[in-house]
Amino acid sequence: MSRSVQVPITDDLPEADRLDGTSHPRNTPSVLGQQQAEETLLKALASDRLHHAWLITGPQGVGKASFAWRAARFLLTRDVSDGNDMFGAPPPAESLDTDPDDMIVRRALALSEPRLMLLRRPYDEKNKRFKQDIPVDTVRELHRFFALSVPDGGRRVVIVDAADDMNTSAANALLKQLEEPPAHTVFLLISHRPSRLLPTIRSRCRELRCAPLPADLLVAALAQQDIDVPEGTSDEALCTLAGGSVGRAAQLTLGEGLALYGRLIVLMSGLPDFDRQKAIALAEWTTARDKPERFDLFCDLLDMFLSRLARTGAAGPPAIEAAHGESKLMARLCRDVRQAQSWAAAQDRLGAKLRTGRAANLDPAALILDTILEIAATAKGRASA
């Protein structure tokens, strides 16, 4: 008798591959903006060239996990012989749509489908936190998964979310499975930074690239999560700040990121001088003990600010502002390529400093104030150059 190796879902058990405040990617009703990836997969299936391993890449939050789950539901409900029978084969599918009432689909959503395996960072209930990475023991569960019989036959699907999270031992264990994959098995590896994966893993996968979303589709994808764009915020501004990432846009909207970036622009508007009291207030707000995620959000937004500032010297100020007054500020602070190089160097230096300070458990408020001082010093140096 077959059974699933998945850990049962409970309402109080966090999931490492789900963003707080949103539903899990497996529950996304449709995937917007990834038609090219969908067509590539369908064409491979129709031509009997369905590769055993697919590396789903693209910026974080653009819908890679949602696409992987959509593909998994389709592959699980599609007969293995579809597309390669000489007689009686159904016509090629035009989409990855599946019937939500199909029992396989319903079991997949509940993580109880015996032909589906999900590999992700485990949750440590004792310490109430996620593991830092996907350990080798999690990947070794595949041996048991493949050893179980499946009464109705069909494909097996393995989703790895995200492959970047695997430690070295886990990556090597997965590589062995990719080198000698079981029959009728499809691996779907989600990767935000494929360059960090083992070259041997990349070489055994076919890539499916997911692209950033334009503003209209990004807003529509947010609506699927019941997230509304804040009043007074343009869709284009949100898309610009989020880089076309739905996940990023959700974080900015739910985590007060739009307001935080606006405060950052206001603070920087006086550079090379700045209002010290506003800086202290910003540092205190960002490092509130009951909101630990704000510090990471600040680091990301500061990195984005410096990146957009550096690009201004080469390509001109942003055509679409992510906050009021941003373009005017950046045009003043970065007028040419030479200044752009200086700001790019500051971006690298300050980003490394914040990461190191965070890892060393330094006072986060002091880190932010010190970072603002260094930005002011850089602006003063550029003004006098």
Task: With beta carbons less than 8 A apart as the criterion, state whether 92 and 42 touch.
Answer: yes
**Helix count and strand count (H, E) for the chain:** 15, 7
Q: What is the pLDDT of residues 172-221, one digit of tens each?
A: 999 999 999 999 999 999 999 999 999 999 999 999 999 999 999 999 99
Give the model's pLDDT for residue 385: 58
Measure Cα distances from 112 to 1, 3, 184 in Å. Answer: 14, 8, 19
DSSP string of 87-136? SSPPPPPSS----TT-HHHHHHHTT--TTEEEE-PPEETTTTEE-SSB-H
When pLDDT is averaged across residues 361-377 and rounded to a whole number, the result is 93
Q: In what order do the strands lie in the sheet with 206-209?
A: 116-119, 156-161, 185-191, 53-57, 206-209
Q: Whole-angstrom Cα distance, residue 302 to residue 261?
A: 8
Cα(first)–Cα(last) distance of the chain, in Å?
A: 76
One-letter identity of residue 363: D
Q: Whole-angstrom Cα distance, residue 159 to residue 54?
A: 10
Quickly count: other Cβ atoms within 10 Å of residue 339's Cβ. 22
Q: Which two tokens stand for residue 192?
A: 């935000």
Q: What is the pLDDT of residues 296-325, one digit of tens each?
A: 889 989 998 999 999 999 899 988 888 889
Mean pLDDT of the chain: 88
Give the model's pLDDT for residue 137: 96
> Beta strand 123-124 with 116-119: parallel, antiparallel or unpaired?
unpaired
Q: Rounded to 5, what percent of the chain is helix, strand, coil? A: 50, 10, 40
Measure Cα distances from 92 to 95, 96, 106, 124 in Å. Answer: 9, 11, 24, 44
Q: What is the pTM of this model?
A: 0.81
3-state secondary structure of 271: coil
Quickly count: other Cβ atoms within 10 Å of residue 333's Cβ. 22
Task: With beta carbons less than 8 A apart as the criterion, state whether 133 and 167 touch.
Answer: yes
When pLDDT is averaged across residues 118-145 and rounded to a whole number, the result is 90
What is the SS3 string spanning 194-229?
HHHCCHHHHHCCEEEECCCCCHHHHHHHHHHCCCCC
Of 21, 15, 247, nearest to 131 (Cα)? Answer: 15
Q: Which two tokens stand for residue 234?
A: 């343009």
Give the model's pLDDT for residue 383: 61
Exposed/middle/buried for residue 55 (C-beta within 10 Å: 0-12, 13-18, 19+): buried
